[in-house]
């Protein structure tokens, strides 16, 4: 396909879906944002490989700077792997994580820039900035990988599952246990499953109003 044709196709796709849909409806806004809660207890209901793939196949479309996509995911499901995760967890996160059907370990790849030519062919030379400065690469990978973590939470909700994100774990230990031989670092964990209301201990906590934290200048 010529570059001209590819551009025309890309624009036609945007026009086509914009004609079909302009706004999410109130139910979807509730599912994704307004009524969605962080879950802390889990029903005995499995999460399938297909569901995990469906989650990934949504989150991967979330934008990242220069399309770098530094997030890496390990879905921890087997009892054996869960037992390895257990000592990494902060005490309040142990029981619920052992009960969760799946726990995603969200990591970021410090060598994400090696795929620059594939992921951002318009400016492959940008990889050099990261190749030459590990600190810049790490900051960037953490920032963009965290953004993908937010997409992960939203994708979990979008497929009708519940998410239980957790920063409370020993990332150094998790790196040793799960990321040996990889140049990745742990970011946060996210339990995935069908939330059990037992884990909801109160009403929605305070959220800032627009006037408190936003300015239009
Ligand atoms: C990245 C991230 C890390 C979190 N870490 C933990 C955690 O380690 N343990 C925990 O019980 N909750 C954790 N939470 C849950 C938050 O405390 C919870 O989302 C927040 O209090 C708001 O509650 P809500 O999402 O139900 O409205 C985390 C949430 C996020 C997004």
Tell me how many domains the chain contains: 2
Sheet holding 71-76, edge to edge: 71-76, 102-109, 184-193, 162-166
Q: What would the pLDDT profile of 118-169 be if each residue is shown by its tens digit?
A: 999 999 999 999 999 999 999 999 999 999 999 999 999 999 999 999 999 9
Does one domain contain both 182 and 100? yes
* Smallest CA separation from ligand 1 atom 27, residue: 37
- What contacts 151, CB < 8 A, 6 or more positions away? 58, 59, 62
Q: What would the pLDDT profile of 85-115 be if each residue is shown by its tens digit?
A: 999 999 999 999 999 999 999 999 999 999 9
**CA 52/CA 54 separation, integer angstroms:** 5
Specify the ligand 1 atom closest to the Cα of 39.
26
Question: What's the Cα-to-Cα distance from 133 to each of 32, 77, 123, 128, 169, rounded to whole Å?
Answer: 37, 36, 18, 8, 28
Structure tokens at 84: 């390895």
Which residues constitute the domain of residue 30? 1-35
Does one domain contain both 100 and 116? yes
State the pLDDT at residue 23: 97
Asked whether residue 11 is assigned to any structural domain, the reply reads yes
Average pLDDT over residues 13-30: 97
Does one domain contain both 31 and 94? no
Does one domain contain both 110 and 62? yes
**CA 59/CA 190 separation, integer angstroms:** 14
Does one domain contain both 20 and 74? no
Asked whether residue 217 is assigned to any structural domain, the reply reads no
Structure tokens at 4: 């001209």
- Is residue 37 lining ligand 1, measured as CB closer than 6 Å? yes
4 alpha carbon to ligand 1 midpoint, in Å? 46
Does one domain contain both 49 and 111? yes
Does one domain contain both 7 and 25? yes
State the pLDDT at residue 5: 96
Does one domain contain both 31 and 41? no
Specify the ligand 1 atom closest to the Cα of 96.
11
For residue 164, what are the β-bridge partners? Answer: 191
Does one domain contain both 3 and 97? no
Asked whether residue 211 is assigned to any structural domain, the reply reads no
Does one domain contain both 151 and 52? yes
**CA 189/CA 4 separation, integer angstroms:** 43
Is the pTM of the predicted complex or chain greater than 0.75?
Answer: yes
* CATH number of residue 179's parent domain: 3.40.109.10
Asked whether residue 31 is assigned to any structural domain, the reply reads yes
């Amino acid at each position: 396909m010529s570059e001209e044709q590819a551009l025309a196709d890309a624009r036609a796709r945007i026009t086509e879906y914009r004609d079909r849909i302009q706004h999410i409806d109130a139910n979807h806004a509730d599912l994704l944002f307004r009524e969605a809660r962080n879950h802390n207890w889990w029903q005995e209901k499995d999460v399938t490989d297909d569901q995990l793939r469906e989650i990934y196949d949504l989150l991967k479309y979330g934008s990242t700077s220069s399309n770098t996509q530094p997030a890496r995911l390990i879905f921890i499901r087997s009892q054996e792997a869960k037992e390895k995760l257990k000592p990494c967890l902060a005490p309040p996160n142990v029981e619920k994580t052992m009960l969760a059907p799946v726990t995603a370990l969200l990591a970021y790849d410090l060598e994400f820039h090696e795929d620059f030519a594939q992921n951002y062919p318009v400016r492959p030379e940008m990889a050099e900035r990261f190749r030459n400065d590990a600190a810049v690469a790490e900051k960037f990978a953490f920032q963009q990988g965290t953004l993908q973590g937010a997409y992960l939470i939203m994708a979990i909700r979008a497929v009708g599952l519940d998410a239980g994100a957790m920063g409370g774990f020993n990332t150094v230990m998790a790196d040793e246990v799960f990321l040996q031989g990889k140049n990745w670092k742990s970011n946060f964990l996210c339990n995935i499953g069908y939330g059990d209301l037992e884990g909801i201990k109160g009403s929605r906590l305070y959220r800032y109003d627009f006037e408190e934290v936003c300015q239009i200048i």
